[in-house]
């Protein structure tokens, strides 16, 4: 039982990282209908920024400051690089985001230098006893922070005027425009929010061993999460992210005993298997909205 709980909490911890990343993808997708492949770069940039800021102002100040700065960076990228592409096919825009990703990563890499950098978090690998089970504090922090961030985000979309505007744009851009909503601002804001979330996720990843140039690969885990949850569902992104984390962790813990014939590292494939199963049953993901196409 304790093994199960430990595995579950590890999974929820890494799942919350995937959830934060997936939320970024979904927020951008909802407003612009584009999957932004620049998220990995913002994640890396956030972690690197914190590794510099934490030494000056401490970890707890560094994280929100970095999230805001990366949000501003993402906003700037949207405003300068992507805004001129409005009206162009989404495929083209998605390819441009790959270019943005490479540029931001190459610049960020220059700041990593030769050594692995540390974000200076206070938890390290220390554990705490929860229901008689030793679990690492950082996983609980990740989970807790994600819950708070998600709650704030949902409240923002539900109750604020800008949140309402964003929902309107997601629903129908032209109608929103006709109602006096600045669609451009909504695009910029969604990039900013996604950038901030990616930065936070990057910091969480780096709490284990530090920041190196390969940190960005983890952002790709968000892809099965968003497909699983439904590309245009915020709730789906959170559930998808957590599901990917938990499935990965539990399969890693038990597959060796239960189904060794699946070979090592099946845990890495498990989220994709889950995604395929979900897609077979619900082609638009767990919470995705069905698209009606009239011919």
Could you list the residues that contact other proteins (CB under 8 A)? 6, 10, 14, 17, 102, 105-106, 109, 112-118, 121, 123-125, 127, 136, 205, 207-210, 212-215, 217-218, 221, 248-249, 252-253, 256, 264-268
Least separation in angstroms between residue 102's CB and other proteins is: 6
The smaller minimum CB distance to other proteins, of residues 260 and 283, is found at 260
Between residues 72 and 125, which has the closer beta carbon with respect to other proteins?
125
Q: Would you say 188 or 205 has its CB closer to other proteins?
A: 205
Instruction: Count how many Cα atoms sit within 13 Å of the Cα of residue 222 in the half-sphere of its side chain.
Output: 32
Q: Supply the minimum distance, in Å, between the C-beta of residue 30 and other proteins.
A: 26
Length of the chain: 295
Return the number of the residue (235 or 256) whose C-beta is nearest other proteins: 256
**Minimum separation from the CB atom of position 207 to other proteins (A):** 7
Residue 74 vs 267, nearer CB to other proteins:
267
Provide, rounded to whole angstroms, the least separation between the CB of residue 125 and other proteins.
5
Residue 89 or 122 with smaller CB distance to other proteins = 122
Least Å from the CB of residue 213 to other proteins: 6
Q: What is the DSSP string of 23-37?
A: HHHHHHHHHHS---T
CB of 3 to other proteins, least distance (A): 10
Euclidean distance between CA atoms 19 and 143, whole angstroms: 10
| Sign of the C-alpha dihedral computed for residues 249, 142, 216 and 192 taken in this order | positive
CA distances 282 to 10, 114, 276, Å, are: 28, 46, 10
SS3 content of the chain, % helix, strand, coil (to 5): 75, 5, 20
Q: How many whole angstroms separate alpha carbon 87 and alpha carbon 93?
A: 10
Minimum CB distance to other proteins, residue 187 (Å): 27
Between 206 and 237, whose beta carbon lies closer to other proteins?
A: 206
Locus of tokens 């032209």: 174
CA dist 25 to 10, 75, 120, 130, 178, Å? 23, 14, 27, 33, 26
Least spacing, CB of residue 154 vs other proteins, in Å: 26
Nearer to other proteins, 40 or 195 (CB): 40
> CB within 8 A of 197, min separation 6: which ones?
20, 21, 23, 24, 27, 67, 149
Within 10 Å of residue 241's Cβ, how many Cβ atoms?
Answer: 34
Q: Is 56 helix (H, G, I), strand (E, B) or coil?
A: helix
Q: Could you tell me if 140 and 10 are in contact, meaning their C-beta atoms sit under 8 angstroms apart?
A: no
């Amino acid at each position: 039982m304790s093994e199960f709980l430990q595995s579950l909490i590890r999974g929820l911890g890494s799942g919350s990282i995937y959830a934060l990343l997936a939320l970024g993808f979904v927020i951008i997708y909802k407003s612009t209908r584009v999957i932004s492949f620049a998220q990995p770069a913002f994640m890396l940039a956030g972690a690197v920024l914190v590794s510099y800021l934490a030494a000056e102002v401490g970890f707890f100040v560094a994280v929100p400051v970095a999230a805001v700065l990366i949000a501003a960076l993402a906003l700037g990228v949207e405003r300068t690089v992507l805004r001129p592409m409005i009206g162009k096919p989404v495929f083209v825009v998605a390819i441009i985001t790959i270019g943005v990703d490479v540029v931001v990563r190459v610049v960020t890499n220059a700041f990593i230098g030769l050594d692995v950098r540390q974000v200076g978090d206070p938890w390290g690998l220390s554990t705490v006893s929860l229901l008689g089970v030793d679990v690492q504090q950082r996983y609980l922090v990740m989970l807790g922070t994600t819950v708070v961030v998600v709650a704030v985000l949902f409240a923002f979309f539900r109750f604020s005027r800008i949140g309402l505007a964003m929902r309107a744009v997601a629903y129908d851009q032209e109608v929103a425009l006709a109602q006096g909503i600045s669609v451009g601002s909504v695009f910029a804001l969604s990039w900013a929010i996604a950038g901030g979330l990616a930065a936070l996720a990057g910091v969480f990843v780096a709490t284990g061993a530090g920041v190196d140039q390969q940190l960005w690969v983890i952002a790709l885990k968000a892809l099965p999460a968003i497909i699983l949850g439904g590309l245009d569902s915020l709730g789906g992104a959170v559930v998808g992210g957590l599901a990917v984390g938990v499935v990965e962790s539990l399969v890693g813990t038990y597959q060796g005993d239960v189904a060794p014939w699946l070979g090592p590292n099946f845990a890495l494939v498990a989220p994709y298997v889950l995604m395929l199963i979900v897609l077979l049953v619900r082609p638009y993901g767990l919470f995705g909205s069905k698209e009606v196409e009239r011919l």
